[in-house]
Amino acid sequence: MGALPLFFRLMAASISGQARYPASALLLTLGQFLGTGIEVVAVWALFHRFGEVQGWAIGEVALFYGLVNCMFAIADALGRGFDVLGTEFLRTGTFDRLLLRPRPLALQLMGHDVRISRLGRLLQGLLVLVFATVQADIAWTPGAVAVALFAMAGGIALFLGILVLQGTLSFWTVESLEIANVLTYGGVQAAQYPLALYAQWFRRVLTFIVPLACVAYYPALVILGKPDPLGAPAWVGMVSPLAGFAFLAAAFGAWRIGLRHYASTGS
Of the candidates 174, 166, 163, the residue with the CA atom closest to the CA atom of residue 92: 174
Between residues 158 and 37, the one the model is more confident about: 158
Say if CB 224 and CB 138 are below 8 A apart: yes
Regarding predicted confidence, which is higher, 17 or 226? 226
Q: How many helical (H) and strand (E) elements, i.e. helices and strands, does the chain have?
A: 14, 0
Beta bridge partners of 119: none
Say if pTM beats, i.e. exceeds, 0.85.
yes
pLDDT of residue 2: 62
3-class secondary-structure state, position 230? coil
Confidence at 177, pLDDT banded by 50, 70, 90: low
**Is the pLDDT score of 103 beyond 70?**
yes
Strand intervals (E) in the chain = none
The predicted pLDDT at position 266 comes to 55
pLDDT of 175: 59
pLDDT band at residue 88 under the 50/70/90 scheme: confident
Are residues 89 and 98 in contact, defined by beta-carbon separation less than 8 angstroms?
yes
- Do 73 and 119 contact (CB within 8 A), yes or no? yes
Whether the CB-CB separation of 93 and 265 falls below 8 Å is answered with: yes
Handedness of CA 67, 69, 73, 75 (dihedral sign): positive
Closest CA to 229 of 71, 69, 52, 47: 52
Rounded Cα distance, 152 and 76, in Å: 13
d(CA 191, CA 69): 9
C-alpha span between 62 and 145 (Å, rounded): 16
- Say whether pLDDT at 265 is over 70: no
| pLDDT digits 0-9 by tens, 218-238 | 999 999 999 998 889 989 999
**In this predicted structure, what is the pLDDT of residue 222?**
95
Q: How confident is the prediction for the chain on average, in pLDDT?
A: 85
Residues 30 and 120: their CA atoms lie apart, in Å, by 6
Q: Is the pLDDT of residue 263 over 90?
A: no
Amino acid at 35: G
3-state secondary structure of 61: helix
Q: In the prediction, which pLDDT does 51 show? A: 72
pLDDT, tens digit (0-9, with 9 covering 90-100), for 128-142: 999 999 999 999 999
Dihedral sign for Cα 180, 149, 135, 120, please: negative
Q: pLDDT exceeding 70 applies to what percent of the chain? A: 93
